[in-house]
Chains A and B, each alone.
Chain A
Amino acid sequence: MGNEFVPLSLPPLLIGCLAALACALPGNFLLLRRQALIGDAISHVVLPGIVVGFLVTGTSSTWPMMLGAAAAAVVAVALIQLVHRVGRIEPGAAMGVVFTTLFAAGVLLLEQSDTSNVHLDVEHALYGNLESLIWLDATGWSSLLDPAALVWLPPELTRMAVVLVLVMLFIGLLWRPLAISTFDEGFARTLGIRVGPLGLALVIVSAIAAVAAFDAVGSIIVIAMFICPPAAARMMTDRLLVQVGWSALFAVASAIIGYVLAGYGPLWLGYSDSVSAAGMIATVSGLILAVAAMFGPVRKGRAA
Chain B
Amino acid sequence: MIDIGYNATLVAIGAGLLGVAAGVIGAFLYFRKRSLMSDAISHATLPGVAIAFLVMVALGGEGRNLVGLLTGAALSSLAGLWLVHWINRNTRLGEDAAIGAILSVFFGFGIVLLTVIQTIGAGRQAGLESFLLGSTAGMLRADAYVIAVGGALALIACLILRRPMTLVSFDAEYAATQGLRPGRVDMAMMTLALAVTVIGLKVVGLILIVALLILPAVAARFWSDRSEVVALLAGVIGGVSGAVGAVISSLAPGLPTGPIIVLVAAALFTVSLILAPTRGVLAGVIAQLRFRHRVHMRQGLLALAHGHRVHEGYTLRLLRRAGLIRADGVATSEGQREAALAAQDERRWTVLRGRPEAATLAAHYDGLTPIDTVLTSDQLTELDRLMKQGSDHGHATIRRAERGRSDG
Residues of A near any B CB (own CB < 8 A): 31, 34-37, 39-40, 44, 83, 86-90, 92-97, 100-101, 103-105, 107-108, 111-112, 122-123, 126-127, 220-221, 223-224, 226-228, 231, 234-235, 262, 266, 271-276, 278-283, 285-286, 289, 293, 296, 298-301
B218: contacting residue among A93, A112, A262, A300, CB under 8 A: A93
List the count of A-B residue pairs having beta carbons below 8 Å apart. Answer: 206
Query: How far apart are A221's CB and chain B's nearest CB, in angstroms?
Result: 8
Write the chain A residue with the least CB distance to B107: A220
A283–B375 Cα gap in the complex (Å)?
69
A278–B132 Cα gap in the complex (Å)?
16
Additional A-B contact list (14), CB under 8 Å, known A111-B259, A231-B97: A35-B96, A36-B94, A97-B211, A97-B214, A104-B263, A108-B256, A111-B256, A123-B129, A126-B111, A223-B104, A224-B101, A266-B116, A282-B104, A285-B108
Q: Is B103 engaged at the interface, CB distance under 8 Å to the other chain?
A: yes
Write the chain A residue with the least CB distance to B129: A123
Would A262 and B97 count as touching, CB distance under 8 A?
Answer: no
Q: Which of B33, B100, B116, B120 has the most CB of A within 10 A?
A: B100
A89–B220 Cα gap in the complex (Å)?
11
A74–B87 Cα gap in the complex (Å)?
31
Per-residue CB proximity of B107-121 to A under 8 Å, as 1/0? 111111011100110
A291–B259 Cα gap in the complex (Å)?
37
Instruction: Determine the chain B residues whose CB is within 8 A of the CB of A31 once the complex forms.
Output: 93, 97
Contact A275-B104, Cβ < 8 Å, known A96-B39, A108-B255: no
Query: How far apart are B336's CB and chain A's nearest CB, in angstroms?
Result: 42
Q: Is the interface of A mostly helix, strand, loop or mixed?
A: helix
Query: How far apart are A23's CB and chain B's nearest CB, in angstroms?
Result: 11
Query: How far apart are A92's CB and chain B's nearest CB, in angstroms?
Result: 5
Query: How far apart are B190's CB and chain A's nearest CB, in angstroms?
Result: 16
Would A234 and B105 count as touching, CB distance under 8 A?
Answer: no
A101–B266 Cα gap in the complex (Å)?
6
A93: contacting residue among B35, B100, B256, CB under 8 A: B35
Query: How far apart are B64's CB and chain A's nearest CB, in angstroms?
Result: 19
A272–B100 Cα gap in the complex (Å)?
33
Per-residue CB proximity of B157-192 to A under 8 Å, as 1/0? 000000000000000000000000000000000000
Would B92 and A298 count as touching, CB distance under 8 A?
Answer: yes
Instruction: Determine the chain A residues whose CB is within 8 A of the CB of B266 once the complex forms.
Output: 97, 100-101, 104
Would B36 and A95 count as touching, CB distance under 8 A?
Answer: yes
Would A40 and B103 count as touching, CB distance under 8 A?
Answer: yes
Query: How far apart are A285's CB and chain B's nearest CB, in angstroms?
Result: 7
Q: Is B281 engaged at the interface, CB distance under 8 Å to the other chain?
A: yes
Q: Is B304 engaged at the interface, CB distance under 8 Å to the other chain?
A: no
Q: Is B273 engaged at the interface, CB distance under 8 Å to the other chain?
A: yes
User: Which 6 pairs show the lowest CB-CB distances between chains A and B?
Assistant: A282-B108, A286-B105, A279-B111, A100-B211, A104-B262, A224-B104
Instruction: Determine the chain B residues whose CB is within 8 A of the CB of A273 once the complex forms.
Output: 115, 119
Would B39 and A301 count as touching, CB distance under 8 A?
Answer: no
Write the chain B residue with the least CB distance to A292: B91
Q: Is B90 engaged at the interface, CB distance under 8 Å to the other chain?
A: yes
A180–B237 Cα gap in the complex (Å)?
44
Write the chain B residue with the least CB distance to A225: B104
Q: Is B99 engaged at the interface, CB distance under 8 Å to the other chain?
A: yes
Would A96 and B36 count as touching, CB distance under 8 A?
Answer: yes
Q: 5 A-B residue contacts at CB 8 Å? A: A97-B214, A103-B259, A123-B129, A273-B119, A285-B105
A87–B274 Cα gap in the complex (Å)?
9
Contact A93-B115, Cβ < 8 Å, known A122-B133, A223-B100: no
Q: Which of A127, A224, A272, A282 has the most CB of B within 10 A?
A: A282
Q: Which of A87, A88, A300 has the most CB of B within 10 A?
A: A87
Which residues 229-286 of B have a CB within 8 angstroms of A? 254-256, 258-260, 262-263, 266, 269, 273, 279, 281, 284
A190–B120 Cα gap in the complex (Å)?
62
Q: Is B208 engaged at the interface, CB distance under 8 Å to the other chain?
A: yes
Instruction: Determine the chain B residues whose CB is within 8 A of the CB of A94 once the complex forms.
Output: 218
